Amino acid sequence: MSVRRLRSFRVLLVVLVFANTSRALVDEVLDVLKLGKEVGEEVLNSWDVFGKPFNATGGVDLPVVRRREREIMARLAVVSRSIEKLEISVQKVGDIALFLAKKGNKPTRLELRLHEMSDLLNRVAWSNRQMREYVGQQENLERSTLQDFAEWCVSHDPGALPGLLERVHALVVPPHKNLLGRGLLQLIMDDLTEEDSDVCDLQMSPHQLIYDMYNTIALTEIKGYAMMQFSWMLLRIYGRGNFTQEASLTRQRYSERTGQTATAARAALAMSKRDLYRCDPPVHTSATYAEVTRLLQGYVENEVDMNGDATCKENCAFYTLTENHGCYMEQFCYKQDKCRGRIIDCQYLDSDMWVCPASRHSQRRYEWIEYENGRTLGRVGSCRLGATKVDSWWRWTLTHCSYCFCLCEDEASVAERFFSLREVLADINENKVVTGMRLVKLGKVFHIQIYQGKLVERGFVESSEEVLAQAFDPEQAGVLEGVDYHTLTYERRAIDLDELDSPSGHVLTGARFRMIGAHLHFEIRATPFNYTTGKLHPEKSQWISNDNTEGSHTPRTRLELYKPDLPTRSHAALRIDSQHDQYIEFTHSDFDADAAQSTVPFIDVQPVVPSKALNTKGATLLSGAGLYHRGARGSGGFIGVKVITYDYSKHVKAEPPPSEFVDESETTEFVPIVN
C-alpha cells in the first residue's frame, strides 16, 4: 500500500466509524443539541414521577411499585425512541478493524485511538440497544434482569457504562494534557492538514468530518446520560436506595463532559479547513477537464504571406502583430489551415523543418515540428498523416523568405474561448442554497454550474439537485459580448484566482463571472439566514468579490507558469499552487514540449459537491467558493472551483440539563420495599 492509499484508508476508517450517525441526523433534521435538550427535560419530568402525590389508598404495595416502574419505563421508551431515530449502526467498525489488522500496517497513534473510540462507541451503542429491547419487553422480564442492567449502567466497574463514557471522554479531552497529548479531534485535524490527499479522496472538508465526529460523540453522551438516569430511577423503585445525590452527580459529570467536549470541538472546528476541491482523477477524460482552444496557438508562416506586398524585406521578429495576406506560390501555406485571426510575436527558429500535421478533428495544427538544426517542438515520433518538409527560400534579390514560428489568435468562430457572464443563482425564493459547483463547457462557452438544495432548520439541507446551465451561442443575435459572455483575447486573457467566503450568518446562493478591467473575475452571492428556522432573507443578498487589481497599492499578484506542458501529461500529482488574490493568464503551452499547440491552464470540470453518506439523503451547507490553480513546475495545470463548507463552530455548544429535581413528597409517598 502506498503512503497515500494508507492515509486515505485511515480516514476512510474515520468516516466509517463516525459518519453514519450524523447522516441519520440529516435525515431526521434533528441535531444533538436539540436531542440533548429533549432528553434532559424528559429525565427531569421522569424524576417528577417520584414527586407527584401518589394516588394511593393506604400502604404501598407491589402494584404501586409496578405502576411506578411502568411509568418510568414508558418515559424511558419515549427517550429511547428519540435516540433511536439518531441511532448509529457501527457494526461495520469491527470488520474494518479486522481488515486493518490483517493488512499489518504499523498503526499510528491516531489509528489506535480511532480503534479504541470505535470500540467504546460500539459498546455503548450495544448496551443502548439492549436497554431498548428490555423496555419493549418489560412485561415479560423478571425484575432482576432489569435491576441487573440498571446496576451495570451505574456501576463503578471500569467496564461498566460510566467507565466507558469516561474513556470516550478521555480520548476527546485527555485528562493529563502533557502525558497523553492531544485529543482525538485535534489529532484528526493535524492529520488532515498535513496533506491534502485525504480531502481529495473523501470529498469532505476536514471541518465537516470533525463536525460529524463531534455529533457522534455527543449523541453517545446523551444515550449514556439517559441510561444512567433511568437506571437510578429504577433502582430507587426497587428499593435499593434514595440515589437523589447520585443522580445529581451523574448530571453534573455529564454537564462537565459535554461542556468540555463542545469546547474541544469548537477549537478543532475553528482551526480546521473548510475548503473542498477535486484533485487529479485517475484518468483524465472529457468528463474531468475541458480546454480553451486557439487562443494563442503556435503557427508556422512564411514572412512573404504576412505583409500585403508579398515581400521578404524584414525578419520574423518584425512581425509582432499582423495577419495572413495570402498564400504565395501555394507552398506550405496551402497545406495548412491558415490563421484567420491575428498573428502575434513571430520569431525565427531555423530555416528548414519537418512538420507533422495534426488530424483534421483536432484543435491542434501540428503534432510536432523538427528543425534541421536539431531543435524539436512537441513530442517527435511517427506521424500518421505524414510529415511535410518545409524549407525557407532565397529570392533573386538575396532576401530570405523565412518560415517564422508565430502565435495565432484564431478567429472567434473557430476558437473556443468564451466565458459566460450570466449570473448563476440558487432558487432562493424556494429557500434553496448552493450545495455544489462545477465549471462546464457547453458548446464553445464555459459556464459555472451549481447544485442546489433546500435549506431547513439548524443548518441542514435537504437533498440537492444539479441545475443545468443554459447553453447559448455567442454568435447568436442578441447575445452580447461583455454582457452575456467574455472572449479571451491576447490582451484580455487573465483570470482572477480568489477564495471568497460569506460574512458570518450568510450562506452561498450563487456565483458569476464579471469583468474587472481586462480580468475575468469570480464572484459569489451570499444570503443571510436564520439558523434556527433555516429561513433565507433573499432581499438582503449581496455579491461578494475581491476587487483588488494588479494596479493597486498592494497589487494582485500573477501566478507564473514555467514552460507549461499539457497538465494531462504530468506524472507528478498536481497540487494547488495558487493563493487568494492572485491571477493567471491563459497562454499557449510550451514551445519545446508541445509546439505551443494548446491553451493552458486546462479547466477542471469535475463537480465539487461535498460528499454525504452513501445511502442517505441530504447535502452540505456552503458559505463560500473560489477559483484556484492546481499545477506543478513544467505543467500548465488546471483551473478549478473549490467550495467552502459552512462554519458550524459557533453553533456547537453544550447546554447543561435542567437540574431541579422536585423531591418534596418523597418521604410521605414513597416507601422503598424491603426485599
Rule CB under 6 A: which residues touch ligand NAG?
A: 55, 242, 244-245, 530, 532-533, 663, 666-667
Using CA atoms, how far apart are residues 371 and 390, in angstroms rounded to an integer?
A: 9
For the bound state, the minimum distance from the C-beta of residue 245 to ligand NAG, rounded and expressed in Å, comes to: 5
- Indicate the residue among 464 and 623 with the shorter CB distance to ligand NAG: 623
For the bound state, the minimum distance from the C-beta of residue 539 to ligand NAG, rounded and expressed in Å, comes to: 14
Sign for the CA dihedral angle at 141, 143, 144, 146 comes to positive
Q: Which CA distances in Å does 342 have to 338, 369, 407, 651?
A: 11, 22, 8, 57
For the bound state, the minimum distance from the C-beta of residue 160 to ligand NAG, rounded and expressed in Å, comes to: 23
Q: Which CA distances in Å does 620 have to 19, 260, 650?
A: 13, 26, 17
Using CA atoms, how far apart are residues 388 and 605, in angstroms rounded to an integer?
A: 36
Using CA atoms, how far apart are residues 225 and 218, in angstroms rounded to an integer?
A: 11
For the bound state, the minimum distance from the C-beta of residue 234 to ligand NAG, rounded and expressed in Å, comes to: 15
- Indicate the residue among 112 and 249 with the shorter CB distance to ligand NAG: 249
- Indicate the residue among 413 and 533 with the shorter CB distance to ligand NAG: 533
- Indicate the residue among 41 and 663 with the shorter CB distance to ligand NAG: 663
For the bound state, the minimum distance from the C-beta of residue 648 to ligand NAG, rounded and expressed in Å, comes to: 16
For the bound state, the minimum distance from the C-beta of residue 670 to ligand NAG, rounded and expressed in Å, comes to: 6
Using CA atoms, how far apart are residues 112 and 119, in angstroms rounded to an integer?
A: 11
For the bound state, the minimum distance from the C-beta of residue 669 to ligand NAG, rounded and expressed in Å, comes to: 9
Using CA atoms, how far apart are residues 206 and 190, in angstroms rounded to an integer?
A: 10
Residue 656 buriedness (CB in 10 A; 0-12 / 13-18 / 19+): middle
For the bound state, the minimum distance from the C-beta of residue 51 to ligand NAG, rounded and expressed in Å, comes to: 11
For the bound state, the minimum distance from the C-beta of residue 659 to ligand NAG, rounded and expressed in Å, comes to: 14
For the bound state, the minimum distance from the C-beta of residue 527 to ligand NAG, rounded and expressed in Å, comes to: 14
What DSSP assignment string belongs to 273-295? --EE-----SS--TTTEE--BSS
- Indicate the residue among 108 and 242 with the shorter CB distance to ligand NAG: 242
- Indicate the residue among 242 and 347 with the shorter CB distance to ligand NAG: 242
- Indicate the residue among 55 and 178 with the shorter CB distance to ligand NAG: 55
Using CA atoms, how far apart are residues 535 and 552, in angstroms rounded to an integer?
A: 39
- Indicate the residue among 53 and 386 with the shorter CB distance to ligand NAG: 53
- Indicate the residue among 54 and 393 with the shorter CB distance to ligand NAG: 54
For the bound state, the minimum distance from the C-beta of residue 148 to ligand NAG, rounded and expressed in Å, comes to: 23
State how far Cα 478 lies from the chain centre. Answer: 38
For the bound state, the minimum distance from the C-beta of residue 646 to ligand NAG, rounded and expressed in Å, comes to: 16
Using CA atoms, how far apart are residues 340 and 410, in angstroms rounded to an integer?
A: 5
For the bound state, the minimum distance from the C-beta of residue 504 to ligand NAG, rounded and expressed in Å, comes to: 11
Sheet bearing 376-377, strands edge to edge: 376-377, 366-371, 352-357, 388-391
Alpha helices by DSSP H, listed for 272-406, are 332-335
- Indicate the residue among 52 and 389 with the shorter CB distance to ligand NAG: 52
Q: Which amino acid is at 317?
A: A
Whole-angstrom distance between the N-terminal and C-terminal Cα of the chain?
Answer: 62
Other CB atoms within 10 A of residue 609 CB = 22
- Indicate the residue among 413 and 532 with the shorter CB distance to ligand NAG: 532
Using CA atoms, how far apart are residues 185 and 203, in angstroms rounded to an integer?
A: 19
Q: Taking Cα atoms as reference points, which of 544, 212, 200, 594 lies closest to residue 369? A: 594
Longest dimension (CA), the chain: 134
Contacts of 294 (CB under 8 A, 6+ apart): 363, 408, 409, 410, 414, 415, 416, 417, 599
State how far Cα 220 lies from the chain centre. Answer: 26
- Assign 3-class secondary structure to 490-523: CCCCEEEECEEECCCCEEEEEEEEEEECCEEEEE
Contact indicator for 225, 250 with CB cutoff of 8 Å: yes
Give me 439's grid cell: 465549471
- Indicate the residue among 89 and 533 with the shorter CB distance to ligand NAG: 533
- Assign 3-class secondary structure to 593-617: HHCCCCEECEEECCCECCCCCCCCC
- Indicate the residue among 34 and 422 with the shorter CB distance to ligand NAG: 34
- Indicate the residue among 134 and 529 with the shorter CB distance to ligand NAG: 529
Q: What does DSSP assign to residue 338?
A: P
Q: Determine which helix (DSSP H) or strand (DSSP E) holds 546, and give its type and residue range.
A: none
Sign for the CA dihedral angle at 512, 515, 520, 521 comes to negative
For the bound state, the minimum distance from the C-beta of residue 67 to ligand NAG, rounded and expressed in Å, comes to: 11
For the bound state, the minimum distance from the C-beta of residue 236 to ligand NAG, rounded and expressed in Å, comes to: 8
Q: Taking Cα atoms as reference points, which of 251, 106, 113 lies closest to residue 188? A: 113
- Indicate the residue among 320 and 530 with the shorter CB distance to ligand NAG: 530
- Indicate the residue among 245 and 252 with the shorter CB distance to ligand NAG: 245
Contacts of 551 (CB under 8 A, 6+ apart): none
For the bound state, the minimum distance from the C-beta of residue 671 to ligand NAG, rounded and expressed in Å, comes to: 8
